[in-house]
Structure 1
């Protein structure tokens, strides 16, 4: 059950990152949302939570870190995809 909650949280965070950066093609890429949300949540959320001293509990700093991490992953994915199509 925890795994499903983590995947759902990652999808929501990843979709939020796509909405903030602007959607390409007018719809949300759910594969990118899941990957960006999970990777961004793990790296950004864990790093910010540990640096702020919150530990591994769910706090606002972890959610903000997750969103920032997902934004970075989404922007990097789009940069790489744009770079490989123009080459």
Structure 2
């Protein structure tokens, strides 16, 4: 992976993580860096799921892939928040 791919993954991870936090109701006790990590992981997993479903390569913006990624980020942020509460 080239440096531009890494930078792109970080930017997409930030956006996906923030959108995932916005979807989860209430206050989350998850830091910015952890939100970025959750967003990057959600973006990668969402891309693989969308590719498996055959909706990742469309002519324009891949809205279904984006929704999958945001949903996974929301689940990830909520899971990390709950894990921090229990710890």
The verdict on a shared fold, with TM-score over 0.5 as the criterion, is yes
CA contact (8 A) 1:36 1:70 kept: yes
Structure 2 alignment gaps of length 5 or more: none
- What RMSD, in angstroms, separates the aligned Cα atoms of the two structures? 2.1
- Point out where structure 1 has 5 or more consecutive residues left out of the alignment: none
Give the paired residue count: 81
Conserved? CA contact 1:40–1:72, under 8 Å: no
Partner of 2:72: 69
- Asked which structure has the greater RCO (Cα within 8 Å, sep 6+), the reply is 2
Compute the displacement of 1:56 (Å).
5.5
Deviation of the 1:48 alpha carbon: 3.0
Taking the TM superposition and a 5 Å limit, the aligned residue runs for 1:45-84 are 45-51=47-53, 53-55=54-56, 59-84=62-87
TM-score by length of 2: 0.76
